[in-house]
Structure 1
Amino acid sequence: MNKVNQEMDRLDSLLPEWVENSRPESAHGRVAVYIPELSKAQWDLLGISVLNADGRYSEAGDTEFCFTLQSISKVFTLILALMDHGEEAVFAKVGKEPTGDNFNSMMKLELIQPAIPFNPLINAGAIVISSLIQGDSAQQKSERILQFFRKLAGNEHLTVDSEVYRSERETGHLNRSMAYFLLDKGILEGNVEEVLDVYFRHCSIQVKTADLARMALVLAYNGLNPLTGEQLIPRRYVQIAKTFMITCGMYNGSGEFAIGAGMPAKSGVSGGILTFVPGRLGIGVVGPSLNAKGNSIAGVHLLERLSREFDWSMF
C-alpha cells in the first residue's frame, strides 16, 4: 500500500473520533450575529472533508451542512482579478501587508496615506478587488465569479444563498461606509452599490465541506486540478494567494494558526475554513461557533491536532 493511501486510511479511522473530541470546543465560542441570517446556524456543528489527488475523500461530522463562503471567497476573487488585470494593476489598488486590525476596520484607511487597503483579504481590500472583476455589469461580474467557483469546486450546482445575500445587503452598513470612503479617495471606481452587490453575492455563495476541499486541492497543486489535469490558475497567482493566506487568511489569528497548524488557510464568519497541504491534500472544514478572532473555534482545534499528528505544517 502506498504512502498516500496509508494516510487516507489513517484519516478514515481517526476523523470520526477526533471530530467528536473537538466538537465540545464550540461551547467556548458563538455564531456570527452581525449578519442576521448567519445567527440561525446550529452552534455545535462540525464537519471536515479531506481530498487527495486520486479523488479519494476522507470525511467525518456534519459534512452535509450547507454554508456560505463569506471571506473564503476573497482568495478566489483576488485570483480572478489577477487573471483579469495582472499584478501591477491589482496592487496599485490594494496592499500586501497584514493590518493587525479587525477584518472590518477602517481605521488605517484614515490614518495611512494613500488610503489603499492593506491587503485583499480584509473587507475594504476585497471590496476594491470586487470592483476589478471584468464585466459590463454587476450581474455579469457576479456570473463570472460564480462560474469560476463552480469550475474550481467541480460543482455546477453552486449558487448564491439568496437569504444570506439579502441579509448582508440590508445590514452591511460598515462595508457601505468603507466603499464610499474609498470612492472619495479615488481608490474605488464605478458605482458603489453595484460593486457592493458583487461583493455581497460572492460572499453568499453556498458550499459544503467537500466543495471547499476540492477548491483547496487546486491551490495545493499550484493551480492544477489533479483530478482532470487542467491548469485552472496560473502558478504565480496561486503563490500570491498562498502567501496572503499564511499572513492574513485567519484574520488576527493568522500568526497563531501558522504556529499551531502551519498550513495556508482562509476562514469565513459562517464557520468555514479552507486549507491544504501543498502537493498533497485539499481540506474543507465547517464549525459555525467562532472564537474571538472570527475563526471556527472547533475547526481550528481539529486542524491543529491533525497537523501535529500527520506532520502537515509547512514550517
Structure 2
Amino acid sequence: MRNIILSRATASDIENQVNKVLRGLGNPDPPLRLQDVRDLLKLDRAYYSTTDDGFLREKISKLTIAGAQVLKRPGLLLEAVRKFDLRALYLPDRRRILLDRSQPDAKQRWNEAHEVGHSLLPWHADLMLGDHEQTVTPSCHAQIEAEANYAAGQLLFLQTRFLVAANDSTPDLDTVRSLHASFGNTFTTTFWRFVESAHSNLPMIGLIGANPNFPRRASEGRVRYVIESPAYRKMFESLSVDSLQTGIASYCRPSKAGPLGSAEIIISDRNGEPHVFFFDSFGNTYDCLTLAVYRRPHKRVIGF
C-alpha cells in the first residue's frame, strides 16, 4: 500500500484544527499527553476486547441504551470490528473512543490519536461506521483514514516542533531513532512522519515489511507499505513493490533485529535519467524498515 498525499487545501484545514487544540493546551512540550487532549475536547475513552465476544457485545449494549441511540443498527459496530479487524473506533454520537485492549500501549497511543483525528474533522462525522453510502467505496475509506492519520501525526508530533527538529538533523535512521525517543511515539510512526514531512525538497522513500531474507513465513517476505515523500513523487515514478523488494534483498542480512545493511541503488527519474539513492535498513523485531534517501545524479561511464 502506498501513502496518500493530501491536497494542500485539505492538509491546511486539518492543520488549523490541530493548531486550535495545541494552542488550547498551551503549546506543550513533547511528548504530548493524550489525556490532556481528551479533557480539552471532552472525549471519553473506553476499551473492548476482540477476543471476548461477550465483552464486546456488553459494550455495544451499554452504548446503545445509554441515552441517545448510537447507531441505527446496534449490530453494525460488532460487524465492523469483526470484518475489518478494527483496533480502535470513534463513536461521534457519544464522543467516545473505543480501543482494543489487546494492542500494545505504544500502538494504542497511535490508535487513540487517529480516532481523535476523526473527532476533530467535522466532515468525518457523517462518514463513520457505515452511516453514509460513500463509506462503501474503498477510495473514500482510504481518503478519510489518510486524513485521520494526518491529524494524528500533526497532534503527536506537535506540528512544526517535529519539523524543526527533523530538518535540523541528518536525514537518516539515527535521526528517526532520536525523534522517536523525544516525541514518545513508536519508531514506525516516527519513521512514517519523517519520510512524509521532513526535508521537503529531498526525495525519500520509506519501506515497511518483513526482511525479504528473513521472513517469518514465506508469504510474509514482502514490503507492505511504501511511503513516498512529496519531493520523490514530483521527480520520480512509483517503483513496483517487486523491484523495491529485489533492491532490499540484495544487501539485507538474514536477521530480524538491529542494523540489516545498506547499499547505494540507482533509480531513474521521470525523464529516464539515473540517480543514486542510499538504502539503509533496520529491524525492529516485527518489521524491516528501510529509508532510501536521494544522494546525487548517477554519472554514466562512457567507454572509448
User: For the superposition of Structure 1 and Structure 2, which TM-score range results when normalised by the shorter chain?
Assistant: under 0.3
More strand by share: 2
With normalisation by structure 2, the TM-score equals 0.28
More helix by share: 1
Q: Which has the higher contact order (CA 8 A, sep 6+)?
A: 1
With normalisation by structure 1, the TM-score equals 0.27
Larger radius of gyration: 2
